[in-house]
Amino acid sequence: MTNEANSTNGLDLLAGLDEVGTGALAGPIAIGVVVFRQDARPIPGVTDSKQLTAAKRRALAPIIVEQAVYVGIGWASASVIDSLGLAEAWRRAALDALEKMPTVQALYIDGIRAVDGYRGQQHTIIKGDATMWQIGAASIVAKVLRDQEMFDMAKHFPGYGFERSVGYGTNRHIQALRKLGLCPLHRRTFTLKTLR
């Protein structure tokens, strides 16, 4: 998603990238990329999405989208994660999120994993989502969209409590797995290890 009115030649643009759902037992990985001008003022309240309430994330997400030059989301489903492995699924989702991104001066990524195949300048930052607001913005957008996906999927796969756990391995989710077995949203490799 590009805000054409804010497009520039890339020399004054910075991008943040973060993912959500990597540690979940069910549902997709969502990777968010958000681009802002270097001189953009930090959006008040934007930080690591895990430090915010769901209501605060939902309030901030449309503000982020409105003020960003570009917002991209890449997805990797449970079946893709099972077939390709987590690292390759992550890489492909990241490249999808970056595919239509305008040229930027640098891409800043939360964690230690760079995007293999991205040709621009990139920097990894441990806990970057809490220290660099552009990365925090990416984490918020990705978290809001992935959570909504899991809320929607809870209607199709009742009994697992996806509307509460959003696919993570909570006690209630694991109890439901032992009772109901796996559904198509579960990552078989991770889930079966958890149930051993």
Q: Which residue has the tokens 């990524």?
A: 109
pLDDT at 7: 47
pLDDT at 10: 64
pLDDT at 1: 59
pLDDT at 178: 94
Query: Mean pLDDT, 10 residues at a time, over the chain (196 residues)?
Result: 50 94 97 97 96 97 98 98 97 98 97 96 96 97 98 97 97 95 94 86
CATH class of 4-146: alpha beta
pLDDT at 154: 97
Distance, CA of 90 to CA of 187 (rounded, Å)? 14
pLDDT at 189: 87
Per-domain residue ranges of the chain: 4-146
pLDDT at 11: 72
pLDDT at 183: 97
Instruction: Provide the Cα torsion 156, 49, 41, 119; round to 10°.
Output: -80
Report whether 34 contacts 15 (CB < 8 A). Answer: yes
pLDDT at 38: 95
Distance, CA of 49 to CA of 151 (rounded, Å)? 17
| Residue 39, both tokens | 């001189």
pLDDT at 4: 40
